[in-house]
């Protein structure tokens, strides 16, 4: 099983993600440079956090035009699991793979702190090992993390079970406290918090098991042994 | 053909909160003697220099670029495009 971690100019969580996948969960993981074609033998793709293109113009919008995004769109249609974390989530919404948009936090501050999530959808490739409403202590680190969706589309997301994670409390002004969503098919998931910074006990002062389940869900989905 | 300057102003749609504009209003402008100011909206402006046959072509070409490349996000932003002689 092979997982691709996409690297854009300005990605800075790619090595953390690669480390967690390969060293903690024993998955074959490879970096995929953004202007090269996506390798053919990829079973899942993760777009890591960072500041692709320095957040110029708007977070994620320039990376959304990278050549590899066209390949990712094709495999998304085939149901391959795709996860965007933080800037990866911003890239997925700017590329049209996920609904909504991420705006500057209400506080205007870059927020770097621990939050608590609630799992709202446990049917995705990244949440299938959770119980519904299970809690996840997990850090955020973003300036543009305020998820916005208009009221009508929000109703659609709720009806189609596309809200994957919510914050336990008001964090940054996100619509309905949404922290993560998926596409209609459920195989493309985006989330602002960083599971790769919370899946090991050495770096998680609360409980690393819930964040581990995000990766274990993926392993379950793609059939890898850990 | 001539050079034209095309200003692209991107701002939030009505109803999308603009915390930066509110902060400038409440914590700077209204702390002076400017009580007749009721609202400040922030915006981002891009200035294109483009060679085209006429001003209208310059404006429509830049509009097309903005739409195709998602220079603004139509879900939350509106764009105003104005062309000028250089």
Which of A97, A150, A172 to mutate to test binding with chain B, by most B CBs within 10 Å of its CB? A150
Residues of chain B whose C-beta is under 8 A from some C-beta in A? 16-17, 19-20, 23, 69-71, 73, 75-76
pLDDT number for residue A225: 44
Name B74's Cβ contacts closer than 8 Å, sequence gap at least 6: none
Provide the pairing of β-strand A101-103 with A82-85. unpaired
Strand partners, A33: A7
pLDDT number for residue A224: 56
Neighbours of A21 (CB within 10 A): 26
pLDDT at residue A155 greater than cutoff 70 = yes
pLDDT number for residue A42: 95
Q: Which residue has the higher pLDDT, B32 or A41?
A: A41
- Mean local confidence (pLDDT), B72-79: 94
pLDDT number for residue A226: 41
- Kindly determine whether residue B73 and residue A173, on different chains, have CB atoms separated by under 8 Å: no
User: Which strands make up the sheet holding A28-33, listed edge to edge?
Assistant: A28-33, A2-7, A44-47, A82-85, A188-191, A178-182, A163-167, A111-119, A135-142
pLDDT tens digits, one per residue of A166-214: 999 999 999 999 999 999 999 999 999 999 999 999 999 999 999 999 9
The mean pLDDT value of chain B amounts to: 94
DSSP of A80-105? --EEEETHHHHHHHHTTSSSSEEE--
Of the pLDDT bands very low, low, confident and very high (cuts 50, 70, 90), residue A9 is: very high
d(CA A209, CA A200): 8
Q: Does ipTM come in above 0.90?
A: no
DSSP of chain B? -EEEEEEEEEEEPTTS--HHHHHHHHHTGGGSS-TT------EEEEEEEEEESSHHHHHHHHHHHHHHTTSS-TTTEEEEEEEEE-
B9 to chain A, closest Cα gap in Å:
12
Of the pLDDT bands very low, low, confident and very high (cuts 50, 70, 90), residue A158 is: very high
- Kindly determine whether residue B70 and residue A61, on different chains, have CB atoms separated by under 8 Å: yes
Contact A183, A123 (CB under 8 A): no
A159 to chain B, closest Cα gap in Å:
20
User: Helix, strand, or coil here: A50?
Assistant: strand
Furthest-apart CA atoms within chain A: distance in Å: 43
**What pTM did the predictor assign?**
0.92
Contact A78, A43 (CB under 8 A): no
pLDDT number for residue A119: 98
Query: What are the Cα distances from residue A56, in Å, to A90, A103, A136, B55?
Result: 13, 14, 31, 28
């Amino acid at each position: 099983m092979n997982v691709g971690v996409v690297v854009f100019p300005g990605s800075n969580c790619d090595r953390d993600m690669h480390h967690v996948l390969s060293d903690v969960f024993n998955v074959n993981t490879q970096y995929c440079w953004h202007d090269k074609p996506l390798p053919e033998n990829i079973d899942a793709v993760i777009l890591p956090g960072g500041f692709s293109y320095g957040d110029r113009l708007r977070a994620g919008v320039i990376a959304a035009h990278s050549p590899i995004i066209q390949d990712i769109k094709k495999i998304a249609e085939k149901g391959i699991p795709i996860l965007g974390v933080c800037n990866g989530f911003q890239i997925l919404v700017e590329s049209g793979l996920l609904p909504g948009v991420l705006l500057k936090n209400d506080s205007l501050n870059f927020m770097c702190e621990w939050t608590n999530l609630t799992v709202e959808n446990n049917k995705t490739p990244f949440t299938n090992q959770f119980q519904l409403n299970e809690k996840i202590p997990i850090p955020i680190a973003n300036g543009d993390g305020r998820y916005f969706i208009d009221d009508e589309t929000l109703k659609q997301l709720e009806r189609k079970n596309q809200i994957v994670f919510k914050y336990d409390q008001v964090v940054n002004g996100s619509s309905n406290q949404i922290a993560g969503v998926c596409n209609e098919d459920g195989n493309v998931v985006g989330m602002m918090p960083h599971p790769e910074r919370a899946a090991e006990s050495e770096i998680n002062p609360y409980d690393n098991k819930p964040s581990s389940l995000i990766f274990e869900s993926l392993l379950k989905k793609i059939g890898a042994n850990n | 053909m001539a050079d034209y300057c095309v200003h692209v102003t991107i701002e939030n749609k009505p109803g999308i909160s603009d915390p930066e504009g509110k902060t400038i209003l409440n914590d700077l402008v209204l702390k002076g003697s400017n009580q007749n100011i009721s609202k400040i909206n922030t915006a981002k402006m891009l200035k294109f220099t483009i060679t085209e046959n006429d001003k209208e072509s310059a404006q429509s070409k830049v509009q097309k670029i903005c739409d195709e490349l998602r220079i603004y996000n139509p879900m939350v932003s509106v764009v105003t495009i104005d062309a000028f002689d250089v």
